[in-house]
Structure formats: structure tokens, C-alpha cells
Amino acid sequence: MAEQSLPRRRVLAGMVALPLGAALARLAPARAESGGLSPTPACDDHPTPEQTEGPYWTPNSPERSDFTSDGAPGEPMTLTGTVVDTACRPVPGTLLDFWHCDGNGVYDNTGYKLRGHQFTDGNGAFRLTTVKPGLYPGRTRHFHVKMRPPGGQVLTTQLYFPGEPANRADGIYRPELEMTVSDPGHASFTFVVKK
């Protein structure tokens, strides 16, 4: 695991301290979606909806944006995107803590495989190199992420794949949290945060 600097430890400690119940109480109302080809939310004063973190988040993940060395089973893929505020301005320095199961639907709950945090660059952009999450009982295919813009609040949510048969049966799935998948090995998403 990469060592973390003291300020980043404080950032993560702040994430742990957030009362999840309070965060969930602010769940944004569902937005009407046209079902078109671009489900990524626009920065139109609708922040990205919050979702439950589920039972498998592990605090203090290492800082890294490439999970390839974990050797986890699954199809290689990249997830790219941008964090913007509700005025469409990019938000550099946003902490993004990703975690997800491997291609067989298994989480590493004792170590940090397929877990890591990174910060958006000067353009508010991020890039995660990993494997495609699999399915596990009761859930459709998804990524988990906790994010925190500088000076802002923690947003916990999940990202989904369009066209997944299991989406319809998953009570947590929301269409506005679908990524744009341009090819099987690349997905993208634009997060909208309040500042």
C-alpha cells in the first residue's frame, strides 16, 4: 500500500466521520430521463444522486488509480470522467475513492484489491484503470465511489452499466447513474457536486 501524506489522512478521516444516515436523508429526487444514449447527468443544478455505500466499503484505501497489479479476474476496462459543480465548472482536487467487486462478483474485504482513491486533476478529470465488476446475488453490475470536493461534503454513490439485464431487478439501480459506455473497455461519467 502506498503511504499517505498527513493531509490526505485527514481528508479520509473526515470521510469516515460523515454520518451516513444524514447523507442518505438528502437523497435527491429521481430525475426524469429520456432513455437516450447519453445518460450522464448534465450540470444543470442537479447534483449526482447519493446512494448507499453498502456493506463493503473499507476506509483508508491507498492512493492509486490503476488496479491492474491486483491481478483480479475480470475484463480490463477504464473509467474516465470529470467532476463539475452545479455551474458546470470543473472541480480540481476532488477526492474520489473507488471500490468494487472483481469479475466474479467477489469483494476483497480483508485487503485493498480493487480499492483506491485519487484526486481530480486541474481540469476536474479522473481516470481509473481496473476490471469490469461482476454480478453478485441481489445486485446488478456497479462501481462504488465516495467523493469529496475541496471544502465540500462527502457524496457516496454508485455507477451502473447501460443495457444490463439485472438493472431492472435491482432496487438500488437508478438510470441517471448509468455511465456512458463507448466500447466494452471504456466507460465515462460526469459527477455533479454542490460547492
CA atoms within 13 A on the CB side of 107: 17
| Least separation in angstroms between CB 169 and Fe ion | 15
Q: CB of residue 54 vs Fe ion: minimum separation in angstroms?
A: 5
Q: Cell triple for residue 137?
A: 446475488
Contact 80, 186 (CB under 8 A): yes
Q: Which residue is nearest to Fe ion (CB)?
A: 54
Instruction: Identify whether the C-beta of residue 193 lies closer than 8 Å to the C-beta of residue 94.
Output: yes
Least distance between Fe ion and beta carbon 133 (Å): 8
Q: For residues 84 and 131, which CB has a smaller minimum distance to Fe ion in the complex?
A: 131
Smallest distance from the beta carbon of 180 to Fe ion, in angstroms? 21
85 contacts 43 by C-beta, under 8 angstroms: yes
Applying CB under 5 A, the residues found at the interface with Fe ion are 54
Strand partners, 143: 159
Q: What residue ranges in the chain does DSSP mark as E strands?
A: 76-85, 95-99, 115-119, 125-131, 142-148, 155-160, 180-183, 186-193
10 vs 90: CA distance, rounded Å = 23
Tell me, rounded to whole angstroms, the distance of Cα 172 from its chain centroid.
Answer: 14
Query: Which residue lies nearer to Fe ion by CB, 61 or 82?
Result: 61
Q: Which residue's CB is nearer to Fe ion, number 109 or number 182?
A: 109
Of the pair 121, 164, the CB lying nearest Fe ion is at 164
Nearer to Fe ion, 85 or 99 (CB): 99
**Count of helices and strands (H, E) across the chain:** 2, 8
Q: How far is the CB of 99 from Fe ion (least distance, A)?
A: 8
Q: Shortest distance, CB of residue 52 to Fe ion, whole angstroms? A: 9
Our CB check for Fe ion shows the closer of 173 and 191 to be 173
